[in-house]
Chains A and B, each alone.
Chain A
Amino acid sequence: MPKLRINDREIEVPEGTSVLDAIFHAGYDVPYFCSERHLSPIGACRMCLVKVGAPRKGKDGDWIRDEEGNPRIFWFPKLMAACTTRATEGMVVDTLADEVKKAQAGMVEFHLENHPLDCPTCDKGGACELQDRSYEYGLFEKYYTQTQNGLKTVLYSRFAFTKRHADKHHKLSEFVVLDRERCIHCKRCVRYFEEIPGEEVLDFIERGNHTFIGSEEVPLPAGFSGNITDICPVGALLDLTARFRARNWEFEKTPTVDMNDAFGAAIWVDSRSGRIERIRAREHPETNEIWIADAARFGHGWTVRDRVTAPLIRKDGELVPASLAEAEAYLRERLARVRGEEVGLLLAADGTLEEGYAFAEAARALKADHFGFENATRFPAANLPAARFEELLSAEFALVIGDPAEEMPNLYLRLQEFLKGITPAPRYYHGTPIADLRLEERMPRRKERLAVFAAYPTRLHRFAGIAGVYPPGSAGPLVEALSAILNGKRPEPVPGVPEAELRRVAERFLAAGSRAIVVGAEVLEAPEAAQAVADLARSKGALVFAMPPAAGARGLEAVGLWNPRGPGWEEPGARFLFAFGATPPAEVLASARLRVLALSHLDPQARAHADLVLPAKTFYEKRGYTVNAEGRLLELRPAPTAPMGSMDGLEALAFWLRAMGKKPPAAHYREARERLHERYRLPLDLPEEGFFWRPKLRLAARTGKDEGELFLQPTMWKERMLRDDRVRTALGAPRLRVHPATAKKLGLAQGARVEVATRYGRRDATVALDPSLAEGALLLPAYGRGTGRRVPYRLLVPAGGEA
């Protein structure tokens, strides 16, 4: 632990701390542009120049001392970039010296030399690091054009500077735009792509004054590209979904949690005039650090389009707007003599813990059999032990079965950290280290630490020492075979994966001191396999990371919204059906006598089947708790964008129960939270980092097996996001990926346009032959419905298409 002096303060910092972090840790400020949390420090911008000195040791091994006997400080001959200088014992740092101020002001001027003065039209204006730093550290007048002796002189140059002109509107993808004039060459985006998602996409092209950011790959690979708009210190990389929607200070900023996957990434929802305009990543060091996936960031356009703003009642086959009183009367009349057992209560995958509690309690009170939540897997994720995401970094070997990049994108980024061997950074007074000297550019990925198996080649396959592709449906047998090998039994053969490969995995698994198993929806859909994972975790002490397709799965199961014996979300059951937040499949709706759906948006199924539609809030607008995949309780906070009269799950359920003449278990989130507090000892107020709630559960698993050929491939994008034109354009037509041999059998040709009908509805798709798949594979993006399942399908050939 080196001790050093920053200006007048003595501090002690952990070994390997940069001077930059030491300065902030001491409570002083230093300007910087190129350093960013979780990225390697490179000293590109030269803004953090400070005066640094250190004592030296003489030949006798002792400090060289001055006359008074104190170690003599040898000042570095020039100012040092604080971000790339390591803090050492006895170091002295001066950030307030005149020469430091002059150097920093000079650097500000250099950065502004080519920077256009379009701050009024720039979306970064008001949240721009360059703006802030030039106010704080810049000069008020230009130095390089000052008048001396009445003559206008330009120092160091025979030429008058004109600003560099470059491409101002370079679209990198549907979501990100690059303004090359504004770029200050900090290299954050270049480093981000290589270091965080592990894709070398952007780079500097040309040199000196002509340097610009460019890419071979336009559009940028969708997945994690949006984070560069957050980390860009100027307005060079901007979010196109929020382009010119408002200035930064005008947004209503709501800190909440993303519910598109079970990771529980922290986000800022920026809204204005009742519209969600932008989503940004919020720092949460224990979960998402400062990153979020593109789907979470750019997939918000759906919230503002075609909202259900009033109750809709079906009259003569049409859904017509009605008042709440009419809706109540309608419901009262139809629920007058309904017995509790005839009722079905279903909740969306992004339901909060409070909603889950109310639904489960109501179902119990009604003795209803048909209750549950959307995208519930056969094996409850809550049965698996949960590990903290940070614990993954301390593992030595990880086995992944599934596709983390799509099922839980932030876990993919954590796996990248794991591959690089990064451990959680020390916490400073200012939080996460800004220039973490442990990080380097192009750190080698330790491939031998990772084994990946999935039904198709995932992003992670490239980084895995052992990687395999099995035909869809073999995830269960694969896990069981592996578990058999680990337990010293003879494994059953797994299609597509040779036994020797599995033995290698088992060998590395056992050789590693600590192991992690990451399982996706496919394994959770195979109850025996998931149970095997749970047993392995117990017997071999492996960390388990389950990626349930429903964001709130762990919490909803734990509060009792789990009924393995009754019909689930996808099976017909109740005659009087109430669903909140999502539309169950058509066959479920068709089999009921009364279908009441609380939805924020109408979809084709709801339009065709619903009898009464209540306006619902989206997860951005609800208040409540949720439990993420690591068993961490997190809080959702409402953005002020819900249309007047729209309900959250508790209000909508209370509306239904009152129409039945029953008392709702909780009419308001606060009441539900108090019940949760009484029953499960959950806190009423959460600390910022969350609260661990991992009850030991042994819920019965749902039995059954997938009967179908079409594998619904996990996607980070959800069905509802496709309402947005921008998202649709970016994703393109969904691809029906087929192994060539299977395609031949089915008579499908490359590029043919087909319509695929499943129980979740119809989808247009383009056939793509993919020899990297296992034979017999037929894959369609799930877009959040039936993720990881195999379902029966029918292929229809639309007019103009050929198959």
Chain B
Amino acid sequence: MSVMALAKALGITLRHFFSRPVTVPYPDAPVAIKPRFHGRHVLTRHPDSGLEKCIGCSLCAAACPAYAIYVEPAENDPENPVSIGERYAKVYEINMLRCIFCGNCEEACPTGAIVLGNEFELADYRYADFVYTKEDLLLDAVGSRPQRREAARTGKPVKLGFEVPYVRPELEGVKYE
């Protein structure tokens, strides 16, 4: 082992000592994630009419390898429809403990209603709280269930712990800010 080698090694150390750190001080700073990151699902809406895209066809549940999805459809009231067409999802539940975030549901969806978003901060305390219902999944809900609970408790807006360079177009109407 020569002095040269020692100096070379120290040089590497010194260079990294003065370079920017790669670690992220999460949760104080947001994590930069890729737009295609598979996170918590979003039930999107038609942008112009605001109607739900989901027609309650249960194909996501059929495609789900983890049996994480439960859909109960119902017939739309023509006067006051929930979705386009005659059928909508009265109950739409995803068990986030079962979900393996494979994205098969998104692929199976004939209307592009269920899309995997980027949110990943889903940790919670009770089993029952992991069953996300329509109100947790629809576009209007920002943040996971514990985050929204915290926001409601403190009165502050939901703070998302990540940032994406852009939101992919399938997540129509979703804004991660």
Spell out A's residues near B (CB within 8 Å). Answer: 118, 120-121, 125, 168-169, 243-247, 249-250, 273
One digit per residue, 1 when the CB lies within 8 angstroms of any chain A CB and 0 when it does not, for chain B 72-88 equals 11110000000001110
Chain A proximity of B133: nearest CB distance (Å): 15
Give the residues in chain B near A243, CB-CB below 8 Å: 75
The answer to whether B58 and A121 touch across the interface, beta carbons within 8 angstroms, is: no
Cα separation A247 to B55 with both chains bound (whole Å): 12
Instruction: Report whether B62 and A247 are in contact in the complex, using a CB–CB cutoff of 8 Å.
Output: yes
Which residues of the partner chain A approach B85 to less than 8 Å between Cβ atoms? 118, 121
- In the complex, A249 Cα to B61 Cα: how many Å? 11
Query: A272: nearest residue on chain B (CB-CB)?
Result: B72
- The 8 Å CB contact of A250, one of B55, B61, B75, is B61
A120 CA / B108 CA spacing, docked (Å): 11
CA of A18 to CA of B34, assembled, Å: 63
**A243-B75, A244-B87 are contacts. A121–B62 as well, Cβ < 8 Å?**
no
- A246's partner among B59, B72, B86, B111 (CB-CB below 8 A) is B72
Residue B57 is within 8 A (CB to CB) of chain A in the complex? yes
Given the complex, which residues of A lie within 8 Å of B55, measured CB to CB? 120-121
In the complex the two chains form, what is the Cα distance from A121 to B113 in whole Å?
A: 14
Residues of B within 8 A of A246 (CB): 58, 72-73
Q: Are B110 and A120 in contact (CB under 8 A)?
A: yes
Q: How far is the CA of A249 from the CA of B59 in the complex (A)?
A: 10
- Report the Cα distance A120→B62, complex, angstroms: 12
Residues of B within 8 A of A118 (CB): 85
How many whole Å from A115's CB to the nearest CB in chain B?
16
Q: Is the CB of A244 within 8 A of B59?
A: no
In the assembled complex, which residues on chain A have CB atoms less than 8 Å from the CB atom of B59? 120
- Write out the residue numbers on chain A whose beta carbons fall within 8 Å of the beta carbon of B74: 244
| CB-nearest residue of chain A to B91 | A273
Please, which residues of chain A bring their CB within 8 A of the CB of B61?
250
- Among candidates A168, A169, A250, A273, residue contacting B58 with C-beta atoms closer than 8 Å: A250
> A244 contacts B58, CB within 8 Å?
no
Query: Contact: B86 with A120, CB < 8 Å?
Result: no
Chain A contact residues: helix, strand, loop or mixed: loop
Please, which residues of chain B bring their CB within 8 A of the CB of A125?
57
**Distance in angstroms between the alpha carbons of A169 and B73 in the assembled complex:** 17
Asked if B56 is at the interface of the complex by the 8 Å CB criterion, the answer is yes
Find the A residue at minimum CB distance from B109: A120
Contacts of A168 in B (CB 8 A): 86
| Residues in A neighbouring B87, C-beta threshold 8 A | 121, 244
Instruction: Say whether A244 contacts B62, CB under 8 Å.
Output: no
Give the distance in Å from the alpha carbon of A109 to the alpha carbon of B45 in the complex. 33
Chain B residue nearest to A118 in the complex (CB)? B85
Which chain A residue lies CB-closest to B83? A121
Task: Out of A120, A169, A273, name the residue touching B57 (CB < 8 Å).
Answer: A120
| A243 CA / B55 CA spacing, docked (Å) | 14
In the bound complex, CA of A404 to CA of B148 (Å)? 63
User: 21 A-B Cβ contacts within 8 A?
Assistant: A118-B85, A120-B55, A120-B57, A120-B59, A120-B110, A121-B56, A121-B85, A121-B86, A121-B87, A125-B57, A169-B86, A243-B75, A244-B56, A244-B74, A246-B72, A246-B73, A247-B57, A247-B58, A249-B62, A250-B61, A250-B62
Q: Chain B nearest CB: distance from A184 CB in Å?
A: 20
State the CA gap A202–B52 with chains docked (Å).
Answer: 37
- Cβ-closest chain B residue relative to A240: B75
Q: Mark B36-64, 1 if CB is under 8 A from A, else 0.
A: 00000000000000000001111101100
Q: Shortest beta-carbon distance, A562 to chain B, in Å?
A: 46
- A646–B19 alpha-carbon span in the complex (Å): 71
Q: Which chain B positions have C-beta within 8 A of A247?
A: 57-58, 62
Chain B residue, CB-CB nearest to A273:
B72
How far, in Å, is B14 (CB) from chain A's closest CB? 62
Q: Which residue, of A118, A120, A250, has the highest number of chain B Cβ atoms within 10 A?
A: A120
* B145, chain A: closest CB distance, angstroms: 23
Q: Are A121 and B57 in contact (CB under 8 A)?
A: yes
8 smallest A-B Cβ distances: which pairs?
Answer: A120-B57, A121-B87, A244-B73, A247-B58, A120-B110, A244-B75, A244-B87, A121-B55
Tell me the bound Cα distance from A120 to B84 in angstroms: 13
User: Shortest CB–CB separation between residue A121 and chain B, in angstroms?
Assistant: 4
Chain B positions within 8 Å of A120 at CB level: 55, 57, 59, 110-111
Measured CA separation A669–B72 after assembly (Å): 34
Q: How far is the CA of A179 from the CA of B87 in the complex (A)?
A: 14
Question: How many whole Å from A320's CB to the nearest CB in chain B?
Answer: 29
With CB as the reference atom, state the residue of chain B lying closest to A121. Answer: B87
CA A250 to CA B72, docked complex, whole Å? 10
Bound-state CA distance A244–B55 (Å) is: 10
Return the chain A residue nearest B86 by Cβ.
A121
Given the interface pairs A120-B110, A121-B86, A121-B87, the reply to whether A245 lies near B58 with Cβ below 8 Å is no
A230 CB to closest chain B CB (Å) equals: 21
User: In the docked arrangement, what's the CA distance between A662 and B55, Å?
Assistant: 57
CB distance from A236 to the nearest CB of B (A): 15
Task: State the Cβ distance, A767 to closest chain B Cβ, in Å.
Answer: 37
Report the separation of the CA atoms of residues A120 and B110 in the bound assembly, to the nearest whole angstrom: 7
Nearest Cβ in chain B — how far from A250, in angstroms?
6
Return B63 CB to nearest CB of chain A, in Å: 12
Least CB distance from A723 to B in Å reads 21
Residues of B within 8 A of A169 (CB): 86
Q: Which residues from chain A contact B56 at a C-beta distance below 8 Å?
A: 121, 244
How far in angstroms is the closest Cβ of chain B from A57?
A: 56
Interface membership of chain B positions 104-141, coded 1 if the CB is closer than 8 angstroms to chain A and 0 otherwise: 00000011000000000000000000000000000000
A-chain residues with CB within 8 Å of residue B110 when the two chains form the complex: 120
Query: Closest residue of chain A to B74, judged by CB?
Result: A244
Within the assembled complex, what's the spacing in Å between the Cα atoms of A70 and B59? 56
**Cα(A250)–Cα(B57), bound, Å:** 11
Additional A-B contacts beyond A243-B75, A244-B86 (6; CB < 8 A) = A120-B111, A121-B55, A169-B86, A244-B56, A244-B75, A247-B57
- Complex Cα distance, B134 from A176, in Å, reads 31
Question: What is the CB-to-nearest-CB distance from B86 to chain A, in angstroms, rounded to a whole number?
Answer: 6
Q: Inside 8 A of B73's CB, which chain A residues have their CB?
A: 244-246
Complex contacts, B72 vs chain A, CB 8 Å:
246, 273
Binary per-residue interface labels of chain B (160-171) against chain A in the complex, 1 for a CB within 8 Å, 0 otherwise: 000000000000
Output the least CB separation between A243 and chain B (Å): 6
Shortest distance in angstroms between B85's beta carbon and chain A's nearest beta carbon?
Answer: 6
> Cα distance A273–B90 when bound, in Å?
14
Complex-state Cα separation, A250 to B59, whole angstroms: 11
Which of chain A's residues have a CB closer than 8 A to the CB of B75? 243-244
A273 to chain B, nearest CB (A): 8
Chain B residue at smallest Cβ distance from A125 = B57
| Distance in angstroms between the alpha carbons of A280 and B153 in the assembled complex | 51
How distant is the Cα of A528 from the Cα of B58 in the complex, in angstroms? 60
Q: Which residue of A lies closest to B73 (CB)?
A: A244
Complex CA distance for A118 and B86, rounded to whole angstroms: 10
A249 contacts across to B, CB distance below 8 A: 62
A121 to B59 alpha-carbon distance, docked (Å) = 10
Cα(A408)–Cα(B74), bound, Å: 34
CB distance from B56 to the nearest CB of A (A): 7
Q: In the bound complex, what is the Cα–Cα distance between A288 and B61 (angstroms)?
A: 35
Q: Which residues of A contact B57 (CB under 8 A)?
A: 120-121, 125, 247
A-chain residues with CB within 8 Å of residue B62 when the two chains form the complex: 247, 249-250
Q: How far is the CB of A739 from chain B (nearest CB, A)?
A: 44
Q: Smallest CB–CB gap between A660 and chain B, Å?
A: 43
B38, chain A: closest CB distance, angstroms: 23
Minimum CB–CB distance for B57 against chain A, Å: 4
Give A690 Cβ to nearest chain B Cβ, in Å. Answer: 35
A250 to B61, CA, bound (A): 9
Q: How far is the CA of A247 from the CA of B59 in the complex (A)?
A: 9
How far apart are B125's CB and chain A's nearest CB, in angstroms? Answer: 26
What is the CA–CA distance of A243 and B74 in the complex, to the nearest angstrom? 8
Residues on B with beta carbons closer than 8 Å to the beta carbon of A245: 73
Q: B95 CB to closest chain A CB, in angstroms?
A: 15
Report the nearest B residue to A250, measured CB to CB.
Answer: B58
A120–B85 CA distance with the chains assembled, in angstroms: 11
Q: A248's closest neighbor in chain B, by CB?
A: B58
Give the CA-CA distance A247 to B56 in the complex, in Å: 10
